[in-house]
Amino acid sequence: MSASVRVFVNATPVEVAAGTDVRGAIRAHDPALEASSAAGAALVTDARGIELPLDGVLEAGSILRVVVRARRTAQDSDADA
């Protein structure tokens, strides 16, 4: 049985298995947000605002902030076109 640790995703406490990566913690919090992160549509930072890789391993008490990017990509359709 692996020990669980508490991390925080967008100020919400999330219990995950020890050794969970950033992607797994976001998935436990909100699977749709994890999909946005994986697609590059959301930015993941630590408490200091430093961008984190999705495969980075978390420690107990880690604070993640996930922000959906407001900018459209070239693939997005233009509603005014």
CA separation, residue 50 to residues 25, 40, 47, 78 (Å): 17, 16, 8, 31
Whether residue 27 is predicted with pLDDT greater than 70 in this model: the reply is: yes
Per the CB < 8 A criterion, the answer to whether 73 and 61 are in contact is no
Q: How far apart are CA 51 and CA 4, in angstroms?
A: 24
pTM to 2 decimal places: 0.82
Mean per-residue pLDDT over the chain, rounded: 90
Residue ranges per structural domain of the chain:
4-68
As a CATH number, domain 4-68 is 3.10.20.90
